[in-house]
Structures are given as C-alpha cells and as structure tokens.
Amino acid sequence: MNKIEQIISTSAAKGLKMLYQKEVDEALITVQQTKKEFDGDYTVVIFPLVKIIGKSPELIGNELGKAIIEANEIFETFNVVKGFLNFVVKKSFFLSSLNQIVDNKDFGFVKEHEKSPLMMIEFSSPNTNKPLHLGHIRNNLLGESISNIQKANGYKIVKTNIINDRGIHICKSMLAWKQFSNGETPQSSNMKGDFFVGKYYVIFDREYKKQITNLISKGSSEEEAKKNAPLILDAQKMLKLWEDNNQEIKDLWYKMNGWVYEGFDETYKKLGISFDSIYYESQTYIIGKQEVEHGLAKGIFYKKPDGSVWVDLTADGLDEKLLLRSDGTSVYMTQDIGTAKLRYSDFPIDKMVYVVGNEQNYHFQVLSIVLDKLGFEWGKSLVHFSYGMVELPEGKMKSREGTVVDADDLIDEMEQTAYQTTKELGKFNDFSDEELKKLSKIIGLGALKYFILKVDPQKNMVFNPKESIDFNGNSAPFIQYTHARIKSILRKAEEDKIELGICDNSLNICDKEKLLIQILMQFQNIVCEAGANFSPALVANYCYDLAKEFNQFYHDYSILKEENPKLKKFRVNLCYSVAFVLKQAMGLLGIELPEKM
C-alpha cells in the first residue's frame, strides 16, 4: 500500500471500531483507485463489511465516510455509490507527494540491509548440445527481471544457473561430430560454438531417423527400431563411458562444451544477463547419486530387479519415479537433488526459486517431496516459478529438427527491424547512421524484452517480432519514445533555468495532473505486488499506463510555455518524476531508455 491507501485503511478500521464496536482486520478493508465513472480519488469497497456490521452498504458508507473525513485533514469530500465509499483528496496532498518523489532517489524500492533474507533464483539452465533459443529468451528475461524485482523488494539475491552439460542428449552431439565432422571446428567453419554443436545434434537426429526407417523396412516395429538403431546404442555406450571417466570421451566432452560456453557467454552478454553462481550437472549429479544411495539404504527408495532405483510417491498422490537407471546412470531428478544440497551448503538460502517452464510442473512436485523425504527441511519450501511456453506465429519449435529460432538470430532480426522501422518513420533524420544503429540496438532489444515480459508469465504466448516494434501501442518503443520526449523537455527547462525543487502546495492543479501523481504514487505498490506474484508483467503494463497518461497530458497542456511560473515549475517536476519512475520501472525489466530519440 502507498501512504494514502494506508491512511484510509487504518482510519477505516478505527472508524468501524468506534461506530460499531467491531474489530475488523485491515486485510479485509479493500482500498483502490476510484473508477473513472465515479467522483473521487480513492475508494473503500464496503460490500465485504456488510456481513460483519449487519447494516446496508449505503448506511455503512455514509457513517464511515463521515468518521474518516473528521479524523483526517487530507480529504475534501466523500460520496457513496451503492457499496463504494469514494474520497476526494485535497490537491495539496498530491503536491506534497510529488515533492517527496522528486526528493527520493530510491522511490518505490526497499533497501537491502544486513538482515535481509537471501533468495536464490535459478534460471536459464541450458543444455550444451544446442544454442539458446526463443524459449530460453523468455526464461532468461523472466529470471533476470524477477531477480531485479525481488531485489527492489529488499531481498538479497543470488542469481544462479545450472548447466546441463552431461547426459544422453550431449552424447548425441558428441557422437555425431565424431562420426560425421571430418575434423570440422567452429573456427574452420566460421560458426559460433553453440551453433556449431547444435548443428551436430540435428545431424544425429537426421541420421537416427534414417536408421529407424531402415530397421522398420526390415521388419522391426517402430518401438524396436527406436531402441535398436546403432546410433542410439552407441550414444548410450558413450554415456556409460563418460560416467566411467573414459579419457578419450572426456577429452571430446571438454572440447565441445568449451565451444558451447563461448557461444553462451556471447548471447548472455547481448541479452544483458549475468549470474552470481554457476553449477554444472557433471559435478552435482555425483552428489545426487550419493543421496539416492543414502535414501536406498534407509528404505526411502527401492531397487527393481533390473537394478534401477525408484521412489514410490503413490501415497503422495503421484506415481513411481525413476532416480537411477539400471546401468547406474543418473537422470535429471538425481542431478537436481545433488544441486539443491550443494547450493544450501554454499549459501544461507531463505527461499529457493526455480524459473522453469510449466511442462516441468510434475518434476518439481516430485523434487520437493523427494528432498523432504531425504530429510532436507527446505524441501517443501522451494518455489517452482512455472511459466507458459512461447511460440512464433508459425507454431512450435523443435530443436532436434532444427526448426528452433536461435536467440542470436532473433536479437539480430529485432535490431534490423528496429533500424528499418526508425528509418521509415523519418523521426530520426538528425541522427547519423552510426547513432541510428546504436539506437536501433536499444529499441530492438527493448522491444523483444517488453513484448515477452508484458504477458502474464503463466500464460502461453506467441511472439511476433513485427508487432513488438510499435511506436504507438503497448510496446517498449512507445515507452522509450515517451521517456526521450520528457528528457528533451527537461533539457530545455534546464536551458531556461527552471530548477527542480519543492513546489507550492497551494497550486490549483488539474485532474489530469492529479491522476498522473496518483499513478506515480502507485509505483511502490506495483513493485511490491510484482514481487509477491513473481510477475514482471505488472511492472511492464504499469509503465505503459504511465506513459500513455503522460502523453495525454502532454497533448492537452502546455509545459514550458505555461505563463504561471509556479505552475510551470510544478509541471517540470511532474515531467522529471514521470521520466524517473519510467526509468526505474523499465530498469526492473532490463530495458534501457534512451535520452534522445
């Protein structure tokens, strides 16, 4: 709650006790901005109080409104419309609030302190058999933005990544390179390392399918062909050799992973993504296997006749889950058990958050229960931040078939689209081509991030590159252009010697100005709510609402040509505050706002 909402909520609770001798929890008192069709600034919703008080909503509203007005000097009047108690706030309060925003460089944020809880947030989690793609982009942008938002809510943050650098999928790329590359390298082919390795993952799938078709033509069933194709059998042997520390296989693994890491680092840098700690499945799976062996010895898990190890979760409403294969090799669950144990020994974690798509909901249900069964007290408190899938207008993407849109290609396409769009608009004719290309990078990347982050994370979404670069709609370019427009006003104000500072609280400001301040005051609520719900979309759409409201004000009212010097100074302060809050809010999304456009 912002300051005025807290005043109303506390006053309402006191008023209800005084009027009706009823103790009402402030959590039951809903305070919101007044709907546009009503007269007022803030509203108390009376309907939830009717059962408690036992009187009509109109009667409660009128009696409570009178009590609140008498107890507080900041309200002018009130009115009751059915079950809504609406308050008109004095303009002096809004002016005073604006002065506080101008004077507070940390407005909307909670400062981290020594006793702040530590939240570890895992995101990205790529496989080293392919480059980062559009799905990874959504994951990375959500992880980075959620980290920023939680930090703004006062948490100490550790951003972590788990690199899935081992397993059958890695061996597929390795085997394909070994059999089909003729010694080709990223350098010799002039390819980015992760693209290069990803190419051989696709080659494996192509050749594997040929072998399956051949076996079926010779009388095998499709299921038998998939199991007995020479390539998949060789990949399984390679995985076993890797886990047995075969030097030749390990050397190949180190070499190919090294190519991939160079590629990943380049992509992360482009996206503005960074990590505080990185874990590798090749290290953590060993700890996981040890924990599974301990669980087996304690009777928590059981072994099947083929030697595979399982956990029975039927009593927990789930099913049986494989933890170790019959040949002793591990699965993802094994690795996640080991990673969790290692992290909690490395950091004093108060809350562990996994940013992973909703197709893994079951996996994290199982992980939470298994960790709890193993005796880790933090098992049941882990948070799986589950988000929806992202697709292109053309439909789903498949890594094995090479139909994935790689992150680097998409970023480059966004920059090119931004460059072409800005040239066609003709708004940037005073920019040199070099300046325009630099601006296009900011616009293109901002458009990509905003388009993805403005969508409710839990929903599936379709990413349309052309729609994302729109200077007039709910987009980053619209917000970026608004910010640049304000910065231009502020530069001219500085030239005119109009200084920021305390404004006269007796000014008669208009309703649009009052509404803009009200939206600015809402920022701290938005940051808090976005943190509680792990939702960057709340911040993104707040930015759009603020930018849209400012543009309406800018269209209707003069700023630097205002004749009243006190009102002119106020409007410059208002412009500054809008630009400041937009920059703070878009910064939480990892989006840069240019000073000039």
pLDDT in tens, 278-304: 999 999 999 999 999 999 999 999 999
Phi, psi (deg, nearest 5) at residue 151: -65, -40
pLDDT at 397 over 50: no
Looking at 36, 64, 89, the residue that finishes a domain is 89
- Which amino acid appears at position 445 of this protein? L
Instruction: Give yes or no: residues 243 and 352 share one domain.
Output: yes
Average pLDDT of span 306-327: 95
Whole-angstrom CA distances from 353 to 39, 199, 244, 364 are 43, 32, 33, 11
Average pLDDT of span 113-119: 94
Tell me the H-state helices in 472-597. 476-495, 511-521, 523-533, 536-556, 565-588
**What's the predicted TM-score (pTM) here?**
0.91
Angle, alpha carbons 213-214-218 (nearest 5°): 115
> CB of 477 within 8 A of CB of 446?
yes
Average pLDDT of span 143-162: 98
Average pLDDT of span 421-450: 90
pLDDT at 428: 78
The mean predicted confidence, pLDDT, of the chain is: 94
Q: What is the largest CA-CA distance in the chain?
A: 91
Looking at 391, 409, 433, the residue that finishes a domain is 391
- Which amino acid appears at position 431 of this protein? F
Q: How confident is the model at residue 404 (pLDDT cuts 50, 70, 90)?
A: low
Q: How confident is the model at residue 398 (pLDDT cuts 50, 70, 90)?
A: very low
Question: What is the tens place of the pLDDT at every residue in 348-390?
Answer: 999 999 999 999 999 999 999 999 999 998 899 999 999 999 8
Q: Does residue 38 belong to any structural domain of this protein?
A: yes
- Which amino acid appears at position 572 of this protein? V
Looking at 37, 71, 89, the residue that finishes a domain is 89
3-state secondary structure of 174: helix
Q: What span, in angstroms and rounded, lies between the C-alpha atoms of 444 and 172? A: 35
3-state secondary structure of 236: helix
Structural domain tally of the chain?
A: 3
Instruction: Give yes or no: residues 356 and 464 share one domain.
Output: no
pLDDT at 395: 53
Which residues, 6+ apart, have CB-to-CB distance to 227 below 8 Å? none
What CATH number does the domain containing 37 carry? 3.30.1360.70
> CB of 536 within 8 A of CB of 453?
yes
Instruction: Give yes or no: residues 75 and 137 share one domain.
Output: no
What CATH number does the domain containing 226 carry? 3.40.50.620
Instruction: Give yes or no: residues 381 and 244 share one domain.
Output: yes
Q: What span, in angstroms and rounded, lies between the C-alpha atoms of 373 and 302? A: 13
Angle, alpha carbons 110-30-513 (nearest 5°): 65
Q: Which two tokens stand for residue 12?
A: 């309402």
Q: Does residue 558 belong to any structural domain of this protein?
A: yes
- E strands in 281-409: 302-303, 309-312, 320-324, 351-357, 383-387, 390-391
Q: Does residue 338 belong to any structural domain of this protein?
A: yes
Q: Does residue 98 belong to any structural domain of this protein?
A: no
Instruction: Give yes or no: residues 475 and 549 share one domain.
Output: yes
Strand partners, 42: 33, 87
Phi, psi (deg, nearest 5) at residue 244: -90, 10
Instruction: Give yes or no: residues 168 and 298 share one domain.
Output: yes
What CATH number does the domain containing 536 carry? 1.10.730.10
Q: How confident is the model at residue 243 (pLDDT cuts 50, 70, 90)?
A: confident
Question: What is the tens place of the pLDDT at every residue in 531-559?
Answer: 999 999 999 999 999 999 999 999 999 99
Instruction: Give yes or no: residues 129 and 78 share one domain.
Output: no
Nearest to 465 by CA among 419, 422, 418: 418
Q: Does residue 317 belong to any structural domain of this protein?
A: yes
Q: Does residue 404 belong to any structural domain of this protein?
A: no
Q: Does residue 366 belong to any structural domain of this protein?
A: yes
Higher pLDDT, 503 or 295: 295
> CB of 519 within 8 A of CB of 545?
yes
Full domain range(s) for residue 232: 123-391
Question: Poorest-confidence range of 35-49, 333-347, 411-425?
Answer: 411-425
Instruction: Give yes or no: residues 127 and 82 share one domain.
Output: no
Q: How confident is the model at residue 403 (pLDDT cuts 50, 70, 90)?
A: low
> CB of 64 within 8 A of CB of 85?
yes
Q: What span, in angstroms and rounded, lies between the C-alpha atoms of 135 and 358? A: 12
pLDDT at 400 over 50: no
Residue by residue, DSSP assigns 152-176 as HBT-EEEEEEEEB--SHHHHHHHHH
Q: What is the percentage of the chain residues whose pLDDT exceeds 90?
A: 87
Q: Does residue 168 belong to any structural domain of this protein?
A: yes
Instruction: Give yes or no: residues 306 and 451 share one domain.
Output: no
Instruction: Give yes or no: residues 157 and 200 share one domain.
Output: yes
pLDDT at 430: 83
Which residues, 6+ apart, have CB-to-CB distance to 150 below 8 Å? 119, 121, 157, 531
> CB of 335 within 8 A of CB of 284?
yes
Instruction: Give yes or no: residues 167 and 45 share one domain.
Output: no
Instruction: Give yes or no: residues 194 and 58 share one domain.
Output: no
Task: State the angle between helix axes of 193-217 and 230-243 in degrees (0 to 180), rounded to the nearest 10.
Answer: 130
> CB of 478 within 8 A of CB of 545?
no
Q: What span, in angstroms and rounded, lies between the C-alpha atoms of 49 and 83? A: 10
pLDDT at 431: 87
